[in-house]
Amino acid sequence: MKKIILADDDFLVRSYLSQLVDWEANGYMLAGVAQDGEQALELAEKLKPDIVIADIDMPVMNGIALLQKLKEKRNPARVVMLSCHDDFEYVKEAMRIGADEYLLKDAVTPEKLLQTLKEIAPAESDAAAEDTKELTEEQERKQLLQLLEGTVLSCESIAPDAVIAVRLTEYEETMAYQPVEQRELFYHSFRQTCEGAGRNLEEVRCVHVRGGLFAVLCQFHAGMSRQSQQLALRETASSLVQEADRHFAIAVKVGVSDAAEYSTDTSVCWSGAKDALEHAFYQPGSIFYAWQCGKMGNMLPRAAEEFLKEAEELAAHRDSAEIKTMLAAALESFSQEQTRESLVAGWLHSADRKLGVETRPMPKRFSDLREIVQVYPTVCEEMLPDVGQYSKGVADTIRFIQEHYRENISLTDAANAVHLTTTYLSFVFHKETDITFSEYLQSCRINHAKELLERTNERVREIGALVGYNDNRHFSRIFKKTTGMTPQEYRKEWRK
């Protein structure tokens, strides 16, 4: 019979874990209980346990120090660390030192505890199984992914009736660039949390699909009505969102499949869950149910296609008014048809390329897309709205400035280009536009500089040269006088 020592400074936790399972019936003996690491170390030297279950954060001597002492004394006991969700750095250190496993306190169930004990210290008859534990875990993950893909129809560990798709909304910012070891610790803890959220379900399995996407496979209790099934799924989804925020301080979006007519086809449930999740692009909220959401649009709307067809020609004619009109129609069609995010992303890439805008990443929300595409009209928008309202000489001068503002041009250059005297052009330009030639030239340059600061990572000096200012100090001074901020301050403020 395997001997176990339990160490935790919280009396309620010690009592709960002491009574969580029938130790003897499962081949274990709870040989001792300690309230800190120092007591646990004394018991370990005296009782020679096979397993030590210790809280990672205890007074006098914490779990990390206890683990180090056990290793120094060459104590062969297997060590399981108990942790809270905010103990990641401690957990990482414990696993580095040599802890065999760790459990999240909030997610410990009798089944989870016994399974963990069996894996780290199997009975003698199970010795061969220990050698294949990692392979078995990987096989289960492979089976679950195959269930989702539809390449297999059953799995030994669960018979799913519904699937919940969970996406970390800030995955790229929080986890994508973390060390592999830390990501794996997070995935392990997050899966435990997801599985613990399904308290009203018969069985739950969570699998990391890719990036920030997880699948939670749910099996209902026998005989549950459709209404009861949906209620259980609602409670599980709500718990997932709350637990992710409370324990990991991360936001998630959740798509929940319906199970009323899917029988054993898990891939159909998975498709339904992902479809429901896609509505998060258009709608506020964190949870989206397949039985409430409509179908996603699988084709690019006609208005969006028309915009792409006409974009280059409209830009060449500097027709900002028509661009605004067609752009509004394209965006409205996306919203009405709930077009798939991947199709909208392809449309954005094509539109950027056709209008000469540096390619931008796809935003996470449709409202943000509405904001970033407003750059399209400004690409060809004229500083003075409708040149048709001015005399030919002034209209030609406006076009001359817009085409040559990057160069070292002057009023004389413009006068020569439009075949007017310098004095007359200065007079008539100011009379018709209410601003001087120099003021319009400066505004044109600063407006384009603002666009470059917003859309590119070019250095300020290079941007100044691109809009006609070869003297960087002069450019910065004029920019601040016009906008109230230096170029660096403007870029920082705009990207907040």
Q: Could you give phi then psi for residue 244, rounded to 5 degrees?
A: -65, -40
Predicted local distance difference test score (pLDDT) of residue 194: 92
**332-354 residues labelled b (16+ CB within 10 A) or e (exposed):** ebbeebbbbbebbeebbebbbeb
**211/111 same-domain check:** no
Q: Cα(62)–Cα(8) distance, rounded to whole angstroms?
A: 9
Predicted local distance difference test score (pLDDT) of residue 457: 84
Predicted local distance difference test score (pLDDT) of residue 213: 93
**183/273 same-domain check:** yes
User: Can you read off the two tokens belonging to residue 66?
Assistant: 């206890």
Instruction: Please give the average per-residue pLDDT across 330-347, as a whole number.
Output: 92
Residue 439 lies in a domain: yes
**125/37 same-domain check:** yes
User: Domain count of the chain?
Assistant: 4
Identify the burial level of 391 via C-beta atoms within 10 angstroms of its C-beta, where 0-12 means exposed, 13-18 middle and 19 or more buried: middle
Predicted local distance difference test score (pLDDT) of residue 353: 81
**148/271 same-domain check:** yes
Residue 451 lies in a domain: yes
Percent of the chain with pLDDT over 90: 35
CB atoms within 10 A of CB 230: 19
**311/360 same-domain check:** yes
Residue 138 lies in a domain: no
Residue 250's CATH number: 3.30.70.270
DSSP 457-485: ---HHHHHHHTT---HHHHHHHHHHHHSS
CB 147 within 8 A of CB 161: no
Inform me whether the pLDDT recorded for 176 exceeds 80.
no
User: Can you read off the two tokens belonging to residue 442?
Assistant: 């400066």
CB 299 within 8 A of CB 343: yes
CB 255 within 8 A of CB 270: no
**99/28 same-domain check:** yes
Q: Could you give phi then psi for residue 28, rounded to 5 degrees?
A: -130, 160
Q: Per-residue pLDDT tens for 433-452?
A: 888 999 889 888 988 888 88
Contacts of 495 (CB under 8 A, 6+ apart): 454
Q: Cα(452)–Cα(467) distance, rounded to whole angstroms?
A: 9
Predicted local distance difference test score (pLDDT) of residue 134: 45
Instruction: Please give the average per-residue pLDDT across 467-474, as a whole number.
Output: 91
Q: Mean pLDDT for the chain? A: 85
Inform me whether the pLDDT recorded for 151 exceeds 70.
yes
From the list 269, 267, 248, the residue with the least C-alpha distance to 169 is 248
**6/110 same-domain check:** yes
**153/258 same-domain check:** yes
Percent of the chain with pLDDT over 70: 90
* pTM given for the model: 0.54
Last-in-domain residue among 346, 379, 412? 379
Predicted local distance difference test score (pLDDT) of residue 126: 45
Predicted local distance difference test score (pLDDT) of residue 317: 65
Predicted local distance difference test score (pLDDT) of residue 209: 92
Distance of CA 166 to the CA centre of its chain: 11
Predicted local distance difference test score (pLDDT) of residue 439: 87
CB 147 within 8 A of CB 266: yes
**370/392 same-domain check:** no
User: Can you read off the two tokens belonging to residue 201?
Assistant: 């379900």
Predicted local distance difference test score (pLDDT) of residue 136: 64
> In 291-421, where does DSSP find H-type helix?
302-316, 320-337, 341-354, 366-372, 375-380, 392-404, 411-418
Residue 27 lies in a domain: yes
Residue 449's CATH number: 1.10.10.60
SS3 call for 314: helix
Predicted local distance difference test score (pLDDT) of residue 377: 72
Last-in-domain residue among 379, 404, 427? 379
Last-in-domain residue among 289, 313, 347? 289
**13/127 same-domain check:** yes
End-to-end CA distance of the chain: 61
Residue 294 lies in a domain: no
**371/395 same-domain check:** no
Inform me whether the pLDDT recorded for 279 exceeds 90.
yes
Of 93-102, 271-280, 316-325, the least confident: 316-325
**12/127 same-domain check:** yes
Residue 251 lies in a domain: yes
Strand 203-210 vs strand 51-55: parallel, antiparallel, or unpaired?
unpaired
Cα angle 222, 228, 233; round to 5: 95
SS3 call for 491: helix
Residue 58's CATH number: 3.40.50.2300
Domain hosting residue 269, numbered range:
144-289
Q: How many helices (H) and strands (E) does the chain have?
A: 23, 10
Residue 344 lies in a domain: yes
Residue 7 lies in a domain: yes
Q: Cα(68)–Cα(40) distance, rounded to whole angstroms?
A: 13
User: Can you read off the two tokens belonging to residue 311?
Assistant: 């974009």
